[in-house]
């Protein structure tokens, strides 16, 4: 059974870079059928897609975040990563990683999520 687990700092200072990793277990990240994605949810609010990456490193991003986001994949460690720079309090959210299934149509499964707070 495929499982995903987010990891990274829970507190980031304003203007700095948020960095998270999603470790995949129970399956290989190198299967060419899938993309791997990041989604976030500010406290008490809805879901927002951040970006996605393929096993070969192809990426695409939410246009509203594109200038600040980089996603990457490390097949040797079976994980993929998110970097969001120049963060502000508005980036405070629970960050989820997920697999994009159905030839890139839906997100399943999801990691449990990790809360990242932007504060000095």
Partner 1 sequence: QSVPTQPPSVSGAPGQRVTISCTGSSSNIGAGYDVQWYQQLPGTAPKLVIYGNSNRPSGVPDRFSGSKSGTSASLAITGLQAEDEADYYCQSYDSSLSDYVFGTGTKVTVL
**Chain residues in the site for partner 1 (CB under 8 A):** 37, 39, 46-49, 60, 62-64, 96, 101-102, 105-113
Closest approach of partner 1 to the CB of residue 56, in Å: 20
Q: Per this entry, what is the length of the chain? A: 120
By C-alpha distance, which of 106, 107, 86, 90 is closest to 98? Answer: 107
Of the pair 49, 55, the CB lying nearest partner 1 is at 49
Query: Which is closer to partner 1, CB of 12 or CB of 111?
Result: 111
Nearer to partner 1, 15 or 64 (CB): 64
CB of 99 to partner 1, least distance (A): 10
* Closest to partner 1 by CB, 44 or 76: 44
List the structure tokens of 71: 């996603």
> What is the C-alpha to C-alpha distance for residues 52 and 115, in angstroms, rounded to an integer?
19
**Shortest gap between Cβ of 109 and partner 1 (angstroms)?**
8
CA 2 to chain centre: 16
**H or E element that contains 32:** none
CA distance 33 to 40: 23
Q: Shortest distance, CB of residue 15 to partner 1, whole angstroms?
A: 26
């Amino acid at each position: 059974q495929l499982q995903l687990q987010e990891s990274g700092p829970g507190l980031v200072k304003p203007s700095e870079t948020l960095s998270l990793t999603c470790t995949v277990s129970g399956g290989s990240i190198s299967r060419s059928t899938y993309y791997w994605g990041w989604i976030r949810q500010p406290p008490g609010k809805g879901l927002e897609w951040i970006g996605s990456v393929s096993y070969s490193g192809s990426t695409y991003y939410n246009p509203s975040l594109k200038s600040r986001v980089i996603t990457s994949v490390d097949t040797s460690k079976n994980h993929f990563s998110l970097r969001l720079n120049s963060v502000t309090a508005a980036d405070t959210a629970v960050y989820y990683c997920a697999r994009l299934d159905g030839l890139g149509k839906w997100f399943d499964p999801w990691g449990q999520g990790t809360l990242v707070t932007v504060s000095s």
